[in-house]
Structure formats: structure tokens, C-alpha cells
């Protein structure tokens, strides 16, 4: 069966980006002129997913407002003859069938994914973290869906990270298969670098079979009562094969200040409207810094 649904967890409190996230969701932080979560939704749509559930929390109504129609703004733009802007804002609300559910308590990514069970309806679904973005047009999710189509099992995205940084991620123990596909033997959540089974870190893209919900029900909550999705994937890997797609291109954690700056700069340089002028500015900036 073709995968058509995506779940976008966007309920986190965004404490790593305070004070900017005190009154706005981190997923709504603009990267150039587009909020981070719009990049994520567009990525899902590009991969052919037309039914999207965003898992939100308190204080995140602006996410719903962003993807909703804005009749007053559309009326204003139409009357002012700003038809390019009008087309752009209408396209946002027409991207996909977007639904919302709230994660009642901030009890971790696994708990947020579990809230999507009724909507998913026993189907395989993609899961994209709402603050984790890729370069526009990156085919990672499409590649993962193809791997799922071949094997009929769950697929996680992994990326090589410096061994010293593996303690910040879920880490897989891989079993070699082919160029960019490995089988996941087990997943270890935030291991000490010396104990890590590899330097392949799980990043925020998943294609999950519906059995993940049974695994989530079996997971024991950890620190702060949080349920970890990686723990559920580890349990799932004991019952059925789980595969990993090894990813080696740019990816940005928008909740991280340095990654946010990198994303803004790199995506801005690729823009057709400001890219050329911005690249010229950066060249000039680097030259000026060399003279200081």
C-alpha cells in the first residue's frame, strides 16, 4: 500500500532557543522568509504525502494560523494588485490536507508520535520532526519511502557524526547491506562515545509501520517521564526488520542556534531572488574580516 500520511511532531517547548521561543514556537522561526515547519511540510508533499497531521502543544496556535486561509490578507493583497504575494499565501493553505492534535503533556517524542495512532489508522506513515530541515528539494524522504517499498518495514534516517557528539543522539548498531542502506540491529539512546556501537546518529526522518504503536505502549518512560521514540524502534527491531537510510547531505536542527544560522546562510545563498547578491556580500564580508 502506498504511504500517504505524514506525522509532524511540533510540540516541544523550544527551550534551547530562548528567549526567541518564549512567545512563538521554534518551528515558526523564519529561515530567510519562510518558517521552518513550512520547509518540513513542503518536503512531505514533495515526497507524495498528501495527508499531514501536526502534533502541537499549548502556545502553538500560530502553526495552525500559518497553514490556514487568511481572508483579510488575501483581500488586501488582491485589492492592492499584489498578485504574486497573493499566489504565495494561497499556496501555503493549499499545500495538503493538514490536521492537528495536541500533545497534552510534554512527555517526549515517543508520546507525541503515539498521539497520532487514531489518525494513522493502522497504516505505515512518515514522521518528520518539525524543527529539522533539509535543503529544499532534497530527496531523502523519497529514498526512504522507496526502501520501505522494497522491504515493507520501518526505515530511519541516519547520519555520520563525530564520535564525540554521538552522546547527543540515538545511535544505531548497523548490519551492512548496500551502499546507503543498513539493517538496524539495535538503537542506543544517547550513548557515551566509548560505548557507542557506531557513529551513525538517528536524525529526524522516519518511515514507520503501525506496529510502532504497540512498541510505544511497551516502552518504559525515562527521565522526566518522557517516552523515547528510539526506545520503541529498538523494541520494534527485535520483532521485525528495521532499516536505515544513510544520509550524507546538509541537515539543520533549527532548535540549535549554530544550525539555525547555517541554515539561514546556506538556504539564502541558493535563492533565485537574493542568492547572488547575498553570496557577493559574504565574499566581501570574508575579505573584510581578513583585514581586521
DSSP string covering the chain: ----EEEEE-----GGGTTTTSSS-GGG-EETTEEHHHHHHHHHHHTT--EEEEEE-TT-HHHHHHHS--HHHHHHHHHTT-HHHHHHHHHHHTSSEEEEEE-SS---HHHHHHTTHHHHTT--EEEE-TTEEE-TT--HHHHHHHHHHHH-SEEEEEEE--GGGGGGSEEEEEEEEETTEEEEEEEEES--GGG-S-SEEEEEEEEE-TTHHHHHHHPPP-GGGPPPHHHHHHHHHHHS-EEEEE--S-EEETTSHHHHHHHHHHHHHT-TTTHHHHHHHHHHHHHHHHH-
Secondary structure letter of residue 175 according to DSSP: E
Q: What is the pLDDT of residue 225?
A: 83
**56 and 166 share one domain:** yes
Beta strands 242-246 and 154-160, pairing class: parallel
**151 and 269 share one domain:** no
**32 and 144 share one domain:** yes
Secondary structure letter of residue 52 according to DSSP: E
**200 and 262 share one domain:** no
pLDDT per residue as tens, the chain (292 positions): 789 999 999 988 888 889 988 989 999 999 999 999 999 999 999 999 999 999 998 888 999 999 999 999 999 999 999 999 999 999 999 999 999 999 988 889 999 999 999 999 999 999 999 888 998 889 999 999 999 999 999 999 999 999 999 998 889 999 988 889 999 999 988 889 998 999 999 999 999 999 999 999 999 888 778 899 999 999 999 999 999 999 999 999 988 899 999 999 999 999 999 999 999 999 999 988 876 5
**291 and 205 share one domain:** no
Q: pLDDT per residue over 195-216, tens digit each? A: 899 999 999 999 999 999 999 9
As for how many domains the chain has, the answer is 2
Q: In whole angstroms, give the CA distance from residue 193 to residue 165.
A: 7
Beta strands 200-208 and 125-128, pairing class: antiparallel
With b meaning 16 or more CB within 10 Å and e meaning fewer, what string describes 106-139? ebbbbbbbbbbbebbeeebbbbbbbbbbbbeebe
3-class secondary structure, 106: coil
Q: How many CA atoms lie within 13 A of 264 on its CB side?
A: 15
Instruction: Kindly report the average pLDDT of the chain as a whole number.
Output: 92
| Angle at CA of residue 92, ends 90 and 93, nearest 5° | 70
Q: What is the pLDDT of residue 168?
A: 87
Going by C-alpha positions, the residue among 248, 2, 9 that lies closest to residue 132 is 9
**172 and 249 share one domain:** yes
**72 and 107 share one domain:** yes
Q: For the domain that residue 223 is a member of, what is the CATH number?
A: 3.90.550.10
Q: In whole angstroms, give the CA distance from residue 108 to residue 228.
A: 6
**272 and 203 share one domain:** no
**280 and 210 share one domain:** no
**160 and 26 share one domain:** yes
Range of the domain at 196: 5-255
**216 and 265 share one domain:** no
**107 and 213 share one domain:** yes
Amino acid at each position: 500500500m502506498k504511504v500517504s500520511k505524514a506525522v509532524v511532531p511540533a510540540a516541544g517547548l523550544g527551550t534551547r532557543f530562548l528567549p526567541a521561543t518564549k512567545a512563538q514556537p521554534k518551528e515558526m522561526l523564519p529561515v530567510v522568509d519562510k518558517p521552518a515547519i513550512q520547509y518540513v511540510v513542503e518536503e512531505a508533499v514533495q515526497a507524495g504525502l498528501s495527508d499531514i497531521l501536526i502534533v502541537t502543544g499549548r502556545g502553538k496556535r500560530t502553526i495552525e494560523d500559518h497553514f490556514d486561509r487568511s481572508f483579510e490578507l488575501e483581500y488586501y493583497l488582491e485589492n492592492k494588485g499584489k498578485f504574486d504575494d497573493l499566489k504565495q499565501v494561497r499556496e501555503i493553505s493549499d499545500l495538503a490536507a493538514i490536521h492537528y492534535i495536541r500533545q497534552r503533556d510534554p512527555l517526549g517524542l515517543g508520546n507525541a508520535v503515539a498521539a497520532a495512532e487514531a489518525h494513522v489508522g493502522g497504516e505505515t506513515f512518515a514522521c518528520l520532526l518539525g524543527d529539522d530541515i533539509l535543503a529544499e528539494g532534497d530527496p531523502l524522504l523519497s529514498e526512504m519511502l522507496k526502501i520501505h517499498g522494497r522491504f515493507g518495514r520501518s526505515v530511519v534516517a541516519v547520519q555520520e557524526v563525530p564520535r564525540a557528539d554521538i552522546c547527543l543522539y540515538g545511535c544505531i548498531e548497523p548490519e551492512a547491506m548496500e551502499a546507503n542502506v543498513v539493517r538496524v540491529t539495535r538503537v542506543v539512546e544517547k550513548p557515551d562515545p566509548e560505548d557507542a556501537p557506531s557513529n551513525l546518529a538517528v536524525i529526524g526522518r522516519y518511515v514507520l509501520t503501525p506496529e510502532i504503536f504497540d512498541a510505544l505502549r511497551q516502552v518504559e518512560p525515562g527521565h522526566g517521564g518522557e517516552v523515547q521514540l528510539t526506545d520503541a524502534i529498538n523494541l520494534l527491531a527485535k520483532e521485525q526488520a528495521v532499516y536505515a537510510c544513510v544520509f550524507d547531505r546538509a541537515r539543520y536542527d533549527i532548535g540549535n542556534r549554530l544550525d539555525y544560522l547555517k541554515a539561514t546562510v546556506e538556504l539564502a545563498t541558493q535563492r533565485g531572488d537574493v542568492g547572488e547578491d547575498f553570496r557577493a556580500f559574504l565574499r566581501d564580508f570574508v575579505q573584510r574580516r581578513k583585514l581586521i
